[in-house]
A and B are shown apart, each in its own frame.
Chain A
């Protein structure tokens, strides 16, 4: 207990807080809280009317409990009652409770608004301030509706007290931020601007925040504020440190107000009036001069306040970007800070210099600091400072220093923090491309990038290097030679194999003259990597092989031998098998001329903005990139992957290009996300089955026996249909009529996605939510696309992803908030990063709230994240399979389910479903060819669990029979569970 207490006010509260603090365990705390809640509830419900003091005390206790993190579901009414108390303290606690625990119960809101209305008209400044604070703290739309017209009146009325004006200004700002449509400009606007001249510094400080926000949205109506702001700033800057009395902070006159004034000026271009501009330049010079003066105090508060103004002034100078003299001075000042002993200043100097680097006047001045910045990248101990240094190097890079900067960034990459590697890789790739004078340097850089940080090299990066090599014939020979050398390394990254396969397949002939890289040597080198690669890379290599047959007829026999072998032509992966069969056939029946035409060198790609750049913009968060840019990047990706007009080999190459390094676990996902071009038809049609949910009648017809030739004849048609596959799929989903479906429907929505990764999760008349996801080992990434189907803006659009209950410890889902406004017809994207920590059975919840017209829309869906998404397919022989199968005989290791087929049991549909499940479909394992056998490993962070599956269709009885033993000995509970719900939907038989 506290040693000293003045009086005995709310002693019960102090005792309660003490009790909580003395609780030894979480359980004890919860017990004590429950006891208190029961007590308070009985007091509130009791027959005896409570006096104001007791009510205040109990409401305060409830507030304390809520702030500890517990839920409070009563007491709101008592708090509202306190609002109308005549005693200040009771009123104050009532308002505090409402501010913290606001509840959109309409009945209460009406009562609260009434109480606020009374206090606002009370003419008692303390009561008025309390009411205004409450509005500003809650800031709900209901309050905006009630008070948005009243507050401007209070703000500009002649007889309003200063303190009330201050609260009113910021209260109005909050309402304007939440409901700009309800705060109407009027004759008060010009009077608000004149508050900049107010005698009371506090009023100016509060009002300027409001003015800045209003100016950003209505620059013309507020432009008179510029000259007022300049003269106010000038007066502050030139004042002696004691002039402003209590507004001087550690010898710095009015630092907060100065910063806000400089910030307001950044909403406008430089003043046109010469006198005003002259005065402003004078201010800026004075601020820069003061930075050179000796400090008036050794306290960090003094230098922080002074430098806060300095940095804001530099921001303004950069914003104007028209005063070379000031820009260079700013740069020199920041240069001094780069070596300052305060980490904070070094950080801010690096950040601020980034923007200076993009000005033509100061770019050269920034460049002079290159050595210091490189040194910072190498030696700073704080990763956030190193990140700033890397950003600055990127910003200051130009043709003259590109080689040095790229080399430094590459060497930093070897030790860089994992969190920033992907961004660094993109930046290096962009700089290398942008400033490449000779493209051999470019090729070297990208290959180095793959060597050093292969895991972080995204598709966009290696697509881009291929694009550039294809388009520039002066670099093709060099590229072929370099990849050939890079592939010699005993362990090389799969991305390197992809680039190597592609480039040698196109340009291997350019180095074939050298006996050390003769055709057969090239082929053997590539093929030596084949078995280590994932399915998509293997598919790419097969395409490279058929290109070899055309380039080097002498390799034909060897390659045909490879294609013919069982592991290719009977490969359980339908894509690989298809390629092997078709390429083998093509090489045997087509004449040389036909081969040469079909396998002609890739035509140049049309010039376009780098897709990497788009990717970097995307990484910078949703705020930094507009929807159109995102769409551009998507479209680009499509074109890059060989839009439909380039013939079959382009498309097959492209199909494999589209892969991530992930194994076939998400093969189906990959196929659907990448525009396939003219991919082999049967694979294509299978895909359509899985995603269109069309049922089993259509698909078998689509399996095309002469698919390959048909592709050749109608490449565009095929590719078109596949290109639109994503959106077609979106359209085919049945629109739900309910604006906000109850949670119970969410299960059905969820189950649609057990075997697929993309499609429409939800749709109603207003909103469509599309999903694209990919998984790799225990990690996943999900892209949610929220499309506004109406022509009206959605406001306050927020989405929340949560993991209820024990799921919280089983699954880790991270995301960033989305933009709060979705324009009519627009689509916004949200990325979720998912990590499977351990076995789980529930699905995470996605809650979406927005306002359409005035009405709040609120819906909750289940996100289709199921344990099978973390399957890694496993190949095994019949012998291995049954050996393991037999070892799994204990009851908890095995689950069996017999269920009736919902539809006819079509082989292709079944196979697609099973592949969609994420397991490998094993051929020639089960002695009964009717049965399907699958194997996979579920990857979680804590463990890996093998899983075997047999599906035994019984055509006569239309019954299926699934067995699923697991390889681990202990109980792995969710597998049978998910099989259970999986079966009727995904296997769909």
Chain B
């Protein structure tokens, strides 16, 4: 994977992770172009597109778009599930995560991502193990994170195919 971007429906970047060396300017240009391209696409369109020399895999969860750029030989479907697993991890950690959680605890979102993906490759795909690592780290500090899920719309798949963690979120 070359990079991952999270952005809102309004086109605001919420998280950016770059796995290839690019200048700051280049990153800004890529984000701008790609966000525009994806926001212009209609909901039922395919989750994959060719963009420059890369394959883009994206999916929308509630107000947030998750978007990954992978190389030619990479598997699109498994990348789509990388996105989903990351959403699950965020959801489990924050407890039905919403966009505000990621805004206010952006550093946590980065830490979780680093436990899950490193250098653009899956490091640990077990949800339990990733969360265990994060929780251990949290034990080393006083747990002081803000939770926002009670005031904002939780991130949830728009096609309403909720898995267990989502349905838990929905019942809250």
Q: Do A and B come from one complex?
A: yes
Decide: B21 and A202 in contact? CB cutoff 8 A: no
State whether A255 and B78 are in contact (beta carbons under 8 Å apart), knowing that A249-B85, A250-B163 are contacts in the complex: yes
Q: In the complex, what's the smallest C-beta–C-beta distance from B32 to chain A, in angstroms?
A: 10
Residues of B within 8 A of A622 (CB): 53
Query: Which residues of chain A are within 8 angstroms of B122 by Cβ–Cβ distance?
Result: 205-206, 209, 256, 260
Instruction: Indicate if the CB atoms of A178 and B104 lie closer than 8 Å.
Output: no
Q: Answer whether residue A305 sits at the interface, using C-beta atoms and an 8 A cutoff.
A: yes
Selected from B46, B81, B124, the residue in CB contact (under 8 A) with A301 is B81
Contact A89 B140 (CB under 8 A): yes
Stretch at the interface among A7-15, A325-333, A686-694, A919-927: A7-15
A770 contacts B by Cβ under 8 Å: no
Q: Is B46 a contact of A347 with CB atoms below 8 Å?
A: yes
Q: Which residue of B lies closest to A816 (CB)?
A: B52
Contact call A170/B137, Cβ cutoff below 8 A:
no
Interface contact A259-B75, CB-CB below 8 Å: yes
Q: Which of A78-107 contact B (CB under 8 A)?
A: 87-89, 92-93, 96, 100
Within 8 A of A (CB), among B47-93: 47-50, 52-53, 72-73, 75-78, 80-82, 84-85
- Of B45, B100, B127, which one neighbours A343 at CB under 8 angstroms? B45
Q: Which residues of B contact A307 (CB under 8 A)?
A: 77
Across the interface, A96 reaches (CB within 8 A) one of B29, B46, B50, B107, namely B107
In the bound complex, CA of A170 to CA of B84 (Å): 21
Q: B172 → chain A, closest Cβ, in Å?
A: 13
Q: Is the CB of B52 within 8 A of A817?
A: yes
Chain A nearest CB from B151 CB (Å) reads 5
Contact bitstring B155-166, A, C-beta under 8 A = 1, else 0: 000010101000
A139 neighbours in B (Cβ, 8 Å): 21, 119
B140-A255 in contact (CB<8A): no
Task: Give bound CA distance, A382 to B47, whole Å.
Answer: 10
Interface string of A382-402 (1 = CB under 8 A from B): 101101000000000000000
A88-B137, A209-B121 in contact; A344/B46 too (CB < 8 A)? yes
Q: Which of B26, B42, B53, B163 contacts A800 (CB 8 A)?
A: B26
Tell me the complex Cα distance, A384–B110, Å. 32
Tell me if B153 is interfacial: C-beta within 8 Å of chain A: no
Q: Assess the B146–A14 pair: CB atoms within 8 A.
A: yes
Which of A62-70, A112-120, A661-669 is the contact stretch? A62-70
Please, which residues of chain A bring their CB within 8 A of the CB of B144? 5-10
Whether, in the assembled complex, B133 has its beta carbon less than 8 Å from a beta carbon of chain A, the answer is yes
A17 contacts B114, C-beta separation under 8 Å: no
A residues near B44, Cβ cutoff 8 Å: 343, 381
The reply to whether A96 and B119 form a contact with Cβ atoms under 8 Å apart is: no
Contact of B46 among A9, A308, A343 (CB under 8 A): A343
Residues B119 and A171 in contact, CB atoms below 8 Å apart:
yes
**B36 close to chain A: CB less than 8 A:** no
Shortest A258–chain B CB gap in Å is: 9
Contacting pair A246 B147 (CB below 8 A): no
Q: A67-B13, A308-B81, A816-B52 are in contact. Are A166 and B151 (CB under 8 A)?
A: no
With the chains together, A255 CA to B146 CA distance in Å? 34
Q: Are the CB atoms of A133 and B143 closer together than 8 Å?
A: no
* CB nearest to B157 among chain A residues: A300
Known: A2-B148, A6-B147, A136-B119. A301 touches B126 (CB 8 A): no
* Contact indicator B48/A201 (Cβ below 8 Å): no
* A304 contacts partner chain B, Cβ-Cβ < 8 Å: yes
Contact A347–B119 (Cβ < 8 Å)? no
Measured CA separation A312–B81 after assembly (Å): 14
Please, how many angstroms separate the alpha-carbon atoms of A298 and B159 in the complex? 13
Q: Which residue of chain A lies nearest to B30 when distances are taken between CB atoms in the complex?
A: A817
Contact A2–B147 (Cβ < 8 Å):
yes
Q: Which of B1-32 contact A (CB under 8 A)?
A: 13, 16, 19, 21-26, 28-29
Given contacts A263-B73, A344-B77, is CB(A63)–CB(B107) below 8 Å?
yes
Pair A308/B141 contact, Cβ less than 8 Å: no
CB-based contact A384/B50 at 8 Å: yes
Partner of B141, one of A87, A136, A163, A170: A87
In the complex, which residues of chain B have a beta carbon less than 8 angstroms from the beta carbon of A96?
A: 107, 110-111
B118-A202 in contact (CB<8A): no
Structural contact, A205 and B81, CB atoms closer than 8 A: no
Partner of A201, one of B53, B126, B147: B126
- Closest-by-CB residue of B relative to A126 is B137
A347-B143 contact in complex given A21-B103, A308-B77, C-beta closer than 8 Å? no
The reply to whether B77 and A246 contact each other, CB–CB distance below 8 Å, is no
Alpha-carbon separation in the docked complex, A623 to B50 (Å): 14
Distance in Å: Cβ of A290 to nearest Cβ of chain B:
15
Task: Compute how far the CA of A14 lies from the CA of B76 in the bound complex, rounded to whole angstroms.
Answer: 37
B residues less than 8 Å from A14 (CB atoms): 104, 146
**Docked-complex contact B133 and A163, CB < 8 angstroms:** yes
- In the complex, chain A residues whose CB is within 8 Å of the CB of B106: 64, 67
Which residues of chain B are near A163, meaning CB under 8 Å?
124, 129, 133
B100–A2 CB distance below 8 A? yes
Residues in A whose Cβ lies below 8 Å from that of B143: 6-7
> With A2-B104, A3-B148, A816-B52 given, is the CB distance from A308 to B75 under 8 Å?
yes
Give Cα distance in the complex from A621 to B53, angstroms: 7
Contacting A305 at CB < 8 Å: which of B46, B47, B78?
A: B78
By a CB distance below 8 angstroms, the chain A residues around B114 are: 133, 137
- Beta-carbon contact of B45 and A382 below 8 Å: yes
Tell yes or no: A957 within 8 A of B by CB: no
1/0 per residue A303-331: CB within 8 Å of B? 01101100110000000000000000000
A3/B118 contact (C-beta < 8 A), A257-B125, A343-B45, A381-B45 known:
no
Of B73, B80, B150, most buried by chain A (CB within 10 Å of CB) is B80
Q: Find chain B residues with CB under 8 A from A621 CB.
A: 52-53
Q: Report if A167 contacts B (CB, 8 A).
A: yes
**Residues of chain A contacted by B104 (CB below 8 angstroms):** 2, 14, 17
The answer, among B77, B100, B136, B161, for a CB contact under 8 Å with A126, is B136
A972 within 8 A of B: no
Contacts A249-B81, A621-B53 hold; do A170 and B121 have CB atoms under 8 A apart? yes
Taking a contact as CB atoms under 8 Å apart, the answer to whether B145 and A166 are in contact is no
Residue with the greatest number of chain B CB neighbours at <10 A, chosen from A8, A64, A301: A301
Beta-carbon contact of B146 and A4 below 8 Å: yes
Provide the bound-state CA to CA distance between A8 and B106, in Å.
16
Expressed in whole angstroms, the Cα–Cα distance for A540 and B167 within the complex equals: 72
**B125 contact from A9, A89, A205, A300, Cβ within 8 A:** A205
- CB-CB under 8 A from A178, the residues of chain B are 21
Q: Is there an interface contact between B163 and A299, defined as CB atoms closer than 8 Å? A: yes
For A132, the closest partner residue in chain B by CB is: B118
Q: How far is the CA of A126 from the CA of B133 in the complex (A)?
A: 8
Return B93 CB to nearest CB of chain A, in Å.
13
| Residues in A whose Cβ lies below 8 Å from that of B29 | 802
Choose from B24, B45, B81, B107 the contact partner of A304 (Cβ within 8 Å): B81
Q: Nearest CB to that of A20 among chain B residues? A: B103
Q: Is the CB of A263 within 8 A of B75?
A: yes
In the complex, the answer to whether B85 meets A2 with C-beta atoms within 8 Å is no
User: With a CB–CB cut-off of 8 A, which chain A residues contact B48?
Assistant: 344, 347-348, 384
Interface set of A (CB-CB < 8 Å, partner B): 2-10, 14, 17, 21, 60, 63-64, 67, 69, 71, 87-89, 92-93, 96, 100, 126, 129, 132-133, 136-137, 139-140, 163, 166-167, 170-171, 173-174, 177-178, 201-202, 205-206, 209, 245-247, 249-250, 254-257, 259-260, 263, 266, 298-301, 304-305, 307-308, 311-312, 343-344, 346-348, 381-382, 384-385, 387, 621-623, 796, 798, 800, 802, 816-817, 847
Those 3 A-B pairs whose CB atoms lie nearest each other, nearest first = A9-B144, A7-B144, A308-B77
Known: A14-B104, A64-B106, A87-B141. 4 other contacts (CB 8 A): A129-B133, A266-B73, A623-B72, A802-B25
- On B, residues with C-beta under 8 Å from A are 13, 16, 19, 21-26, 28-29, 42, 44-50, 52-53, 72-73, 75-78, 80-82, 84-85, 100, 103-104, 106-107, 110-111, 114, 118-129, 133, 136-137, 140-148, 150-151, 159, 161, 163
Q: List 14 A-B contacts (CB under 8 A).
A: A3-B148, A88-B140, A139-B119, A170-B118, A205-B125, A206-B118, A209-B122, A249-B81, A305-B78, A305-B81, A308-B80, A347-B48, A348-B48, A384-B49
